[in-house]
Structure 1
Amino acid sequence: MSCPLRAAPAAALGLLLLLGRLAGSSAAGGPGSPSCPAPCRCFGDLLDCSRLKLSRVPERLPQGVVQLDLSHNRLSSIKASSLSHLHSLREIKLNNNELEIIPNLGPVSANITLLSLTSNKIGGILPEHLKPFQSLETLDLSNNNISELKTASFPSLQLKYLYINSNRITSMEPGAFDSLSSTLQVLKLNRNKISAIPQKMFKLSHLQHLELNRNKIKKIDGLTFQGLTALKSLKMQRNGINRLMDGAFWGLTNMEVLQLDHNNLTEITKGWLYGLLMLQQLHLSQNAISRISPDAWEFCQKLSELDLTFNHLARLDDSSFVGLSLLVGLYIGNNKVNYIADCAFRGLSSLQTLDLKNNEISWTIEDMNGAFSGLDKLRMLVLQGNRIRSITKKAFSGLDALEHLDLSNNAIMSVQGNAFSQMKKLEEL
């Protein structure tokens, strides 16, 4: 009898909780509520009518709806009168439908702050279609059939976030975004067919993040991004860029992150880095870089992270990293490095991670004394997958703060006595 007596209160409590949830759901207009039109689902101020194969908007939508999800249906048009009573509506998702133009939502358009139209059949942006959306902050037109951006495409709006990824854009007229200059903060144009960026294309003084990944841009001229004084990050991965002209990023005085991975760049020069005074992260992985000019970093002395993995570097000279005293992470894995100058890393007084895996380093460790001198704060050194055969007792002198040393996948045959003795903080070898 003792077991059932103990279990009864727990079962009763579970039943009370379940009833409480059902009551709360009904009060909020949840599934089964009289105010929730079948077969839609209501969750508080969200009305979910997605994935119902609808060809028109359901009748008698509840007045208090703030968010309306009509995604994954068969809507080719919207009857404005079906939404006219939704005075609280602020966000509407119409993803994955059959819309060919930006729809007219009637009087409620003026209150909409988020309009998502991804994966439709929209072929162009006309200002008269957007003008009613005077409160709009987020517009997502990704995965449509837009092929060009004209000077008058966008009327004056309150837009902060604009996404036009995965369209067919080949041309952009200068001034296309000018009407958004006082508000736009994020602009994403990934996966299009843009081959060139016209001069004075981006007069967006409040823009903080710009993405142009997976386009067909081969060359960036000087002053291309002039006018983006507030920009924090620029992403241009997988374009096939092979030429960065002097002053290519001039004017981006507040930019902190530049991603140029998966392109065809062959060298790093101060010419194209000119003006990047606040740059903290530079990603150049998967290029064809074989040379770093001696004065490359003159304008980028606030760099904290530099990724040069998967390039064609064969040597690291004593001038390769001059001026990078704030660098914390340096990644040079998967290159062809077989020569490291005596003072190649001198001056990198803040460096904590140095990754040199999968290179052709051999004699550096065997015949040099203090190849890594000056790296007082280095915590991690990765030399995995090189050609190191022997380690002298002074090979790692100066690395007093080292905690992690990876020498795996080498051909080490001999280690001199006391080779690791000075590394008092070493935790993993």
Structure 2
Amino acid sequence: MISDILPEHLRPFQALETLDLSDNHISALRMASFPPLPLKYLHINNNRIVSLEPGTFDNLSNTLQVLKLNKNRIAFIPQKMFKLSHLQHLEMNRNKIKMIDGLTFQGLSALKSLRIQRNGLVRLMDGAFWGLSNMEILQLDHNNLTEITKGWLYGLRMLQQLHLSQNAISRISPDAWEFCQKLSELDLNYNHLARLEDSSFVGLSLLVRLNIGNNKVSYIADCAFRGLSSLQILDLKNNEISWTIEDMNGAFSGLDKLRWLLLQGNRIRSVTKKAFSGLDALEHLDLSNNAIMSVQGNTFSQMKKLKRLPKMLLSLCSL
């Protein structure tokens, strides 16, 4: 039933490293709520916090490594709110944050992961994550973001995982990935993408896993995946792909290391001889839940590592 954090109540605990105040009735965090303590882990999940006051955590700047503020009512993060040079993990899931201004997270130079899921985020301003030069994981799933631009990705040079599933993304700007070319995993499941242009993934030569399942993709440009030389898993399930596989030659050219290709639940009716040319390393190909009526002969002959094809496909082609 704790409703307030008073510094005099915490001051006696001079050796305290972990403080969990979750599941209480705290409604505000004020400047100097926390006296100087050697705290490493601070959890204030599932309270009633509406606002954050700059300076709240300043006394913990030398030691705090993990801060969790999930399931509160926070609607706005003041600029330079977090002056925590040792913080590595910050979670603010299930709040009410709709927009993030530039420089909001300046002061978190050691941060490795940031989670702002299920907030209803609509807009990320240019430089929203500037200053997070060491961050490796950014999770923004279950929000209302509509596009990916280099403006809000500015400065994320060490980013390795970007999770954007369950948003409303319909556009990837041509130069979106200029500042985060170390990405190894990109999750765009359950968005509104209809087209994959030849510029959609430029610069992501270290990408290993790309998830674009459950979108509305019906068009894939000839060079959409060119340059993804490290890609091993490509998930395109439950889209509206049809003519891409039927009429294009080498839609997946350049994916020399691709091991998994998931195309189930699309609108593919026929597979041409060159549809999968260049996929010599492919081990798993899923074409289930399509309406495939024909497969040209020798379509899969170059894929020596392919482990299994559905009987339905085997009956339609001669390998």
Q: What is the TM-score of this pair, normalised by structure 2?
A: 0.97
Q: How far, CA to CA, are the matches of 1:428 and 1:220 in structure 2?
A: 47
Q: How far, CA to CA, are the matches of 2:6 and 2:32 in structure 1?
A: 8
Q: Cα offset for 1:160?
A: 0.1
2:236 to 356, 370, 387: 356
Letter in 1 for 2:46: S
* Deviations, residues 9-57 of structure 1 (Å, cap 9, x unaligned): xxxxxxxxxxxxxxxxxxxxxxxxxxxxxxxxxxxxxxxxxxxxxxxxx
Q: Secondary structure at the match of 1:129?
A: helix
Aligned twin of 1:135: 15
Q: How far, CA to CA, are the matches of 1:216 and 1:275 in structure 2?
A: 25
* Deviations, residues 306-349 of structure 1 (Å, cap 9, x unaligned): 00000000000000000000000000000000000000000000
Q: Cα offset for 1:201?
A: 0.7
Does 1:207 pair with 2:93? no
Q: How far, CA to CA, are the matches of 1:411 and 1:283 in structure 2?
A: 31
* Deviations, residues 380-407 of structure 1 (Å, cap 9, x unaligned): 0000000000000110000000000000
Aligned twin of 2:196: 316
Q: Cα offset for 1:428?
A: 2.6
C-alpha RMSD of the superposition: 0.4
Aligned twin of 1:367: 247
Letter in 2 for 1:287: N
**Structure 1 residue runs of 4 or more that deviate by more than 3 Å after TM superposition:** none
Aligned twin of 1:271: 151
Aligned twin of 1:96: none
Structure 1, unmatched stretches of 5+, are: 1-120
Aligned twin of 1:396: 276
2:105 to 225, 234, 237: 225
Please tell me whether the aligned partners of residues 175 and 200 of structure 1 are also in contact (alpha carbons under 8 angstroms): no
1:152 to 19, 32, 42: 32
Q: Secondary structure at the match of 1:271?
A: coil
Q: Secondary structure at the match of 1:210?
A: strand
Q: Which has the larger radius of gyration?
A: 1
Q: How far, CA to CA, are the matches of 2:183 and 2:53 in structure 1?
A: 34
Aligned twin of 1:301: 181
Q: Cα offset for 1:200?
A: 1.5
Q: Cα offset for 1:199?
A: 1.3
Aligned twin of 2:116: 236
Q: Secondary structure at the match of 1:136?
A: coil
1:280 to 154, 157, 160: 160
Q: Secondary structure at the match of 1:162?
A: strand
Q: Identity over aligned residues, as a percent? A: 85
Aligned twin of 1:340: 220
Q: How far, CA to CA, are the matches of 1:199 and 1:250 in structure 2?
A: 11
Q: Cα offset for 1:152?
A: 1.3
Letter in 1 for 2:200: S
* Structure in which a larger fraction of residues adopt helix: 1
Q: 1:25-424, aligned counterparts within 5 Å?
A: 121-424=1-304
Q: How far, CA to CA, are the matches of 1:422 and 1:262 in structure 2?
A: 40
**Number of equivalent positions:** 309
Aligned twin of 2:314: none
* Deviations, residues 51-100 of structure 1 (Å, cap 9, x unaligned): xxxxxxxxxxxxxxxxxxxxxxxxxxxxxxxxxxxxxxxxxxxxxxxxxx
Q: Secondary structure at the match of 1:270?
A: coil
Q: What is the TM-score of this pair, normalised by structure 1?
A: 0.72
Aligned twin of 2:313: none
Q: How far, CA to CA, are the matches of 1:342 and 1:415 in structure 2?
A: 21
Q: How far, CA to CA, are the matches of 1:264 and 1:407 in structure 2?
A: 31
